[in-house]
Amino acid sequence: MKIQLKYLSLCLFSLAATGCSQHVIKTNSNQTASIEQKAITGLNAIFETPSYDFQGKLRVQSNLVEAIPKVADAAPATLDPVLKKQLDQYLKQQKVRLSTQEKQNLYTAMAKEQNSASYAAGAIEKSSPFNFVLNVLNDTQFSYDGSVHYRQKIAALNVAARYEKPTLLVQMKVPMVVDFNEYKFYTNYFSLLPYLVNKDSQNDFAYIDFSKYKADFERIKVAQFAEYLKAMNAVPYVLADSNHIQKLSLTAQERQQKISEKIRLNSSLEDMLLQLAMFDQVNAPYLQQTVLGQATTTEDATEQVETTQDTSAKESAEDYLKHNETAEDYGMSQEAFVAYQATLALRDLVSQKFYATETTANNAADYSADASEDAMIAAEQAVQAAAAEQAEDSASTASMLSEQDCQRLIETAKTAKVGDLTYCAYAYELEAFSPNRAEQAQSVLDEHFASPQEKLAKVFEPYRSEQLVDAAAFAALWQKHQAEIQQIMNATPKDKKTPMQIDVALDDQGRAAKIDYALQFKRENYGTIHVYNDVSIANYGQASKIDRSALRQAKSIQEVSKDSILEKWVTNLGRTLEQETAENKDKTTAKPALSYDEELAQLAQKTYQQTESFSQTYQTLFLVHMAAEQSTWVKNLSPQTLQEMAEVYAYWFSDERYYDPKGAALKRIEALQAKHHLEEDEQFNNAIGRRINNLTEDAVDENKVALEWRKLKQQYKQPQQIFAQQYLKAYEAAYDWDVPDLENLKKTAHILGQTYVDRQQGKLSQNSIRTLTEDQAEQIDYELYMDVYEDMQKFVK
């Protein structure tokens, strides 16, 4: 089915040019043609006619295995009692005070994190949502019909679905048309998404204009494209064994339908996709350069460069980003993104007031050149650093444990050094306390060996060609490497593959009249799923006409959705949610459960607030996270070992600004490093260590910053004053090596405070900086401005 979808997509692509019918490639009739050749000729008939109609039905039938008893249906996710007891004792020892509900929330989030990891690893075989979807598909009838007109460069597709039960009937139809004359895609999606369409447009087509890709479509060479598609259709048949192709007997009904012959191909989905993937690989240069016209001439390249330069002159990269990027694009918080946009707006205003456009353009060009040079220097330095680091790692690894050493250590993991166990996992993927060593070994082997497609790709890589390698030539290559191919393909057991049947029924002229696909997905964990796709093709050269009058009345998607119910609902969503009814006031609204990451961050905040200690906060988070990520370690190692391990991790991963032990504290840590073999980078779990360090640093920073802002708010009441004072303080700290004009700096800070207020009220303009002098403009550090702006949104409500 996937093959057919790809095939249909490529067919629609060919409509973009002048029409396959102008390049009809007739196949000479041959009375002695083999059955595989007849099937190929029949399938390729759709490329040798000006138009045709098609219709089909898609069915899904599943025979699921009996459901596993639902143990976890009623019970929420719970943490292992042993781990829970250990964590209770540890939190008490660390003097971290959490309420009963806070502990329960944390432990529930940890349990969910562990369950999600188990699910990802395949421990949960049954999925009720999956079963639900299959049951719905079983009772849903899918059908489709349409027509293709090559000369008119237009095609239509109507998709329908019907779900019927004794007390429920749901049916829908979605018409679609693609027109390569107008370069528009038309559809009416009212039945699918009725709330996206206003009442005046429910019977109208909506369109999407893709004319900006017109040049790309016009480069397609239709004759060569048709040849490529025909060759691709032929590949599964020319590669098939003779016992996998057979001629079927016709039924009385098929004879009445003037079916002259019926041919069946037996294969597997995996083998067929592999064959087509290798055919695509060999012909990739031909398809890209000759067919799709992606190879550019020197003139084209020159024109493209000139166009790019002209566009760059009109709109700088900064302007482009400013108009198109969002907070999600860079993983920014909303506060940070708002601050970023405000900073750009301020810089534009200052530039307009004091600096000429020409100077700005020159500065941008200079900046671009400097950035390119800096990037080259940075790349060279990175290569040198990587080489030095690799040499250092090689020398270090030579003195570390061998794989045989690690295998012996893991047998006695409880008494081994934790640094050695971590190194064995890092270097040889040998995990301590693994419940199933055989599964672990198999996992390592699976990751080590490449997929069949990757292996075959290496075999066919030398045959990539800018000329079409047709089906016959590809079959010769396939036969040449038959021994290697069979070895690779047979690596997947036959019972693990997905059987696939393709029945091609031919009319009295040898053209495909019906194409029936049947796939059987059989898996131990959910049973058998049958997928049937039956396609009929008719009216060769006389396809049904497409009503263009309906297309001429089509409206843009924006116009169709304007004033729809959904648009109004989205606009008023925030306002509606803020309205608290009397009924809601009387109810205790349950807050959504925090995720594991959010619980961990909250624990970091609480722990640091109570202890005011980086080390204690780190150690608490470390043990909690170890219990969630490596519970077997926590169960098998003593509390003292885990405590000492956490102490060393806190020292190893922390920055001196946050944690810098001296004297006896440092000597204790160094002794613990030697005791547990935690002296080299490879002996640490870097993912856990860095994550906990980041959380701890964030907690420290947030507490310090929040305290400073609370003091600032108590001293200064107005947002303008608060902003000005914080900017003044930040500027003096950043430029402590310079002696600024303090009086001028205070005036600058005062003006910047006003720009913050104006921007928040949507009034930022030249009037906001009317008193700003050029000397004062030199005292604007836009990065500091953005930082203060972001913090104002967080701490000054």
The residue-averaged pLDDT of 739-760 equals 88
Tens-digit pLDDT profile for residues 553-590: 888 766 766 665 555 443 443 344 334 433 444 444 45
As to burial, measured by CB atoms within 10 angstroms (0-12 exposed, 13-18 middle, 19+ buried), residue 41 is buried
Q: Which residue has the higher pLDDT, 480 or 129?
A: 480
**Quick one: tokens of 519?**
């796939």
According to the model, what pLDDT value does residue 360 have? 43
pLDDT of residue 104: 82
DSSP category for residue 507: E
Residue 291 burial (C-beta neighbours within 10 Å; 0-12, 13-18, 19+) = buried
Q: What are phi and psi of 174, to 5 degrees?
A: -125, 105
Residue 328 — very low, low, confident or very high, per pLDDT cuts 50/70/90?
low
**DSSP classification of residue 286:** I
Residue 41 has pLDDT above 50, yes or no: yes
The rounded percent of the chain whose pLDDT value lies above 70 is 73
Using DSSP, state whether 664 is helix, strand or coil: helix
So what's the pLDDT on residue 563?
Answer: 63
Q: Which amino acid is at 140?
A: T
Other beta carbons within 10 angstroms of residue 209's beta carbon come to 11
Reported confidence tier of residue 396, pLDDT bands at 50, 70, 90: very low
- Phi–psi pair at 407, nearest 5 degrees: -60, -40
Helical (H) or strand (E) element with 325:
none
Q: Tell me the average pLDDT of the chain.
A: 77
pLDDT of residue 508: 92
% of the chain residues with pLDDT over 90:
27
User: Mean of the pLDDT values across residues 271-286?
Assistant: 91
Query: At which residue do the structure tokens 């604007």 appear?
Result: 780
Output phi, psi for 536, to 5 deg: -115, 140
How far is 490 from 90, CA to CA, in rounded Å? 54
Task: State the average pLDDT over residues 436-463.
Answer: 63
Confidence check: pLDDT of 156 > 80: yes
Lowest mean pLDDT among 143-152, 261-270, 628-637: 628-637
pLDDT of residue 537: 95
Quick check: 225 and 14 in contact, CB under 8 A?
yes
Residues in the chain: 797
Lowest mean pLDDT among 305-319, 468-482, 606-620, 713-727: 305-319
Give the model's pLDDT for residue 307.
Answer: 42
The average pLDDT across 110-119 equals 67
DSSP secondary structure letter of residue 526:
T
Residue 77, Cα to own-chain centre: how many angstroms? 28
> How far is CA 119 from each of CA 14, 113, 114, 748, rounded to the nearest angstrom?
43, 10, 9, 57
DSSP annotation of 525 reads: T
Distance of CA 45 to the CA centre of its chain: 39
Mean pLDDT across 174-196: 81
The answer to whether 192 touches 202, Cβ cutoff 8 Å, is: no
pLDDT in tens, 10-38: 444 444 343 443 333 344 444 457 899 99
Q: Smallest Cα–Cα separation from 218: which of 228, 210, 230?
A: 210
pLDDT score at 500: 94
Reading the block at residue 741, the tokens are 């004009």
Largest CA distance in the chain: 101
Dihedral pair phi/psi, residue 95, rounded to 5°? 60, 35
Confidence of residue 552 (pLDDT cuts 50, 70, 90): confident
pLDDT at residue 326 above 50?
Answer: yes
Neighbours of 762 (CB within 10 A): 6
Place of tokens 């263009």: 548
Confidence grade of residue 739 (pLDDT, cut at 50, 70, 90): low
Q: pLDDT tens, 346-375?
A: 998 988 888 754 444 444 444 444 444 554
pLDDT score of 97 more than 60: yes
Whether the Cβ atoms of residue 554 and residue 207 lie closer than 8 Å to each other: yes
How many C-beta atoms surround the C-beta of residue 91 within 10 A? 19
Q: What is the distance, to the nearest Å, from the Cα of residue 361 to the centroid of all Cα atoms in its chain?
A: 37
Cβ atoms within 10 A of the Cβ of 412, count? Answer: 9
Contacts of 234 by beta carbon, 8 Å cutoff, 6+ apart: 40, 44, 470, 471
Structure tokens belonging to residue 470: 């047709």
pLDDT value for 276: 93
Question: Is 452 a residue whose pLDDT tops 80?
Answer: no
Q: In terms of pLDDT, which residue wins out, 194 or 467?
A: 467
Per-residue pLDDT band at 652 (split at 50, 70, 90): very high
Lowest-confidence pick of 62-66, 424-428, 779-783: 62-66
Q: Of 294-298, 476-480, 581-585, 763-767, which gets the smallest average pLDDT? A: 581-585
Question: Helices (DSSP H) in 76-176: which residue ranges?
Answer: 81-93, 100-120, 128-138
Q: How far apart are CA 391 and CA 182, in angstroms?
A: 61
* pLDDT over 90 at 430, yes or no: no
pLDDT band at 516 (very low <50, low <70, confident <90, very high): very high
Rounded to 5 degrees, what are φ and ψ at 503?
-105, 120
* Alpha carbon distance, N-terminus to C-terminus of the chain: 57
* Range 670-696 average pLDDT: 91
Write down the pLDDT at residue 29.
42
Is a pLDDT exceeding 80 seen at residue 505? yes
pLDDT category at 169 given cuts 50, 70, 90 is: confident
Q: How far apart are CA 22 and CA 151, in angstroms?
A: 8
Give the pLDDT score at 329. Answer: 53
Q: How confident is the model at residue 191, as a pLDDT? A: 67
- pLDDT at residue 127 greater than cutoff 80: no
Helices (H), 562-636: 565-571, 573-578, 582-586, 596-611, 614-629, 631-636
Please give the backbone phi and psi of residue 154, each rounded to the nearest 5 degrees, phi first: -150, 150
- pTM greater than 0.75 (yes/no): no
Structure token pair of residue 101: 């509900």
Q: Which of 180, 174, 223 is nearest to 196 (CA)?
A: 174
Interval 199-247: pLDDT, tens: 666 677 888 888 888 888 888 888 889 899 999 999 999 999 989 999 9
